[in-house]
Amino acid sequence: MKTENRFGPKGWTPERLGSLKGKTYVITGTTTGIGYEATRLLLSKGAKVVMLNRDGTRSAAIIKKLKNELGDNVDVSFIHMDLSILDSVRRAALKVKKQVPNIDALICNAAISQIARQEITIDGFESHLGVNYFGHFLLCGLLFDKIEESKGRIVIVGSNAYKMGLKRINFEDMNFDTHYNAWNPYAHSKLALMMFAYELQRRIQAKNKNVQVYVCHPGASRTDLIKGENLNKFVKTLWAILSPFMAQSAEKGSWPLVLCATEDMLKSEAYYGPTKRSELVGPVDECVLEKHVLDRKDAAKLWTVSEQKTSFKWDL
């Protein structure tokens, strides 16, 4: 798919941002990496940010850090949510609806990656699919009416991993009970998340709803995503060696998230992120989008399966 260079040779940068005072952003996964950097950037422009994280202690430390850097008057708060537990997502969404008057953008950023051995969530999902996809599918559905009331948007943080792995939804074995490895389930979860986003765009347009959905990716960014005791040791070691040379900062990795949360007149069925060196780094703009992620038949099937597995029926 051919793309156009909308933002010029330097791509999108935070220099395009004006004041965001009066705007409210709800973000998943903000205690580190691109989620933290996106939060910091939005707050620095006067926005209110509500962080949805599973670790209350780390969230409190992040709030203290942000206030120390940006001032005590920054409007940042925390609501507990564990994406691996659907009941936790439901409780968090209820609190958001009660406590947050408007949502200008819900940014679905939190993710896990490279889990070395198969793990199953309490709801029976392979862990990558449960956290990266099903949790966000449910969260978007539960908050959709609130976002529409605000004439807001949903930002889906995808990954170029969607181009790898099976390149299709593994309907016959969604938990990878056979042939599990650390890579394919992650790629599968991000493909599912992106296919959901484009299907959501189509359903919104068909019903003339007042919500925009945009998809981005951070490229190769130096974050804590590929760290932890349960992750693939080879991948962790390789990343530790190569990331100083082939990756960009987490700050730059957050720019596509902020672009999609704030910029006007973005395209649907588009994909925004770094555009150089195989889309790992470089100026942020529209990227090439491969056809398999736009497969409407599989997207519709995935939607039906997702409603069944999360016990949530969208009004779309």
Catalytic residue among 25, 162, 186, 198: 186
| Calpha distance 245→194 (Å, rounded) | 28
Site of tokens 């588009």: 270
What tokens does 69 get? 């850097």
Closest CA to 32 of 11, 15, 18, 51: 51
User: 272 catalytic, yes or no?
Assistant: no
| Calpha distance 113→3 (Å, rounded) | 29
Provide the annotated active-site residues: 186
